[in-house]
Amino acid sequence: MTNILEIKGLSKNYGKLKAVQNLNLTIQKGQVYGILGPNGSGKTTTLGMILDVVAPSGGTYSWFEGMAPIAARKQIGAILETPCFYPYLTAVQNLRITAHIKETPFSRIDTVIEQVGLTERKNDKFKTYSLGMKQRLSIAAALLADPPVLILDEPTNGLDPQGIAEIRTLIREIAANGKTILLASHLLDEVQKVCNYFCVLRKGVKLHEGSVDDILGDTNEIEISASNMDELKEHLSAFEGIDSIQTEVNQLVLKAKDGVTSEQVNKYCFDKGITLKKVVTRTKSLEQEFLKILEEK
């Protein structure tokens, strides 16, 4: 795969404070890559360095396998910190200014406004927008030049649950169109639901890097319950697709063999004359695995 960004030994010091320490990352084309870590972990500093906003203290980075920095910057749409628009201008008027700065045709404005779901409010002043709408307009501005790479720093910060859900959906839709997205967040749930690769930073040090699917893994535990739990356990003991059965409060937890699904367990029980009240496949959460990473480090 094509490498979009390569970071080697990147560091940033503010006096005695080591904001980022010897960071190495490789981001490939088409990835939705999450930089995960608490506030103060070096996420925004890292994004600032690779966007030429913050001067590194050491290390190197290269975009698009060695493309010249000025040319590479034109291939990146970025949102750092909070949205910055003129409050007394409409969405269209603000985007016209952005398009002029980016030397992008005005014809792109309606396209990106529709893409972020602001068509009905495009002629309303920015100051009348909710936080979620302001963030969507920022994403529209970042998409004006139709860049292959999008960088988002805490894209759902300060939003209510509905706004968070809207921005996450929008990010997934953008990624589905083939763009590479680099996202910094302190929210575990956000990274789990949006990203396919991620790294964990703590005090500027990378603790972990890998695929979200790999760290969550496949889980073969199934929670079930029925009116007669003794009868349920007796029948399941004879089911060849089960490795073990654990009794918990008001339920059984089955360790299923590879390839055995909850649907197969449900059908087996039904064929034995047992109607299950509950059938739930257990899934890992990134929060659980994140805590394990921190404990190991």
Residue among 81, 95, 214 at smallest CA distance from 155: 81
pLDDT for 217: 62
pLDDT for 190: 86
| Per-position pLDDT tens, the chain of length 297 | 689 999 999 999 999 999 999 999 999 999 999 999 888 899 999 999 999 999 999 999 999 998 888 889 889 999 987 778 999 999 999 999 999 998 999 999 999 999 999 999 999 999 999 989 999 999 999 999 999 999 999 999 888 888 899 899 999 999 999 999 999 998 888 888 899 999 999 999 999 898 887 776 656 678 889 988 989 998 888 888 888 888 888 898 888 887 788 889 899 999 989 999 998 887 666 666 666 676 666
pLDDT for 81: 73
pLDDT for 84: 84
Under a CB-based contact definition with an 8 Å cutoff, are residues 12 and 20 in contact? yes
pLDDT for 109: 96
- DSSP secondary structure string, 23-91? EEEEEETT-EEEEE--TTSSHHHHHHHHTTSS--SEEEEEETTT--HHHHHTTEEEE-SS----TTSBH
Q: How far apart are CA 165 and CA 189, in angstroms?
A: 11
pLDDT for 254: 86
pTM value is 0.77
Structural domains in the chain, CATH included, are 3-216 (3.40.50.300), 221-281 (3.30.70.100)
Under a CB-based contact definition with an 8 Å cutoff, are residues 150 and 78 in contact? yes
- Residue 184: strand pairing partners: 35, 153
Alpha carbon of 12 to those of 44, 80, 225, 297: distances in Å?
A: 11, 18, 54, 22
pLDDT for 33: 96
276-281 β-sheet, strand order? 242-248, 251-256, 221-226, 276-281
pLDDT for 219: 60
Could you tell me the two tokens for 49? 């360095």
pLDDT for 240: 87
pLDDT for 250: 86
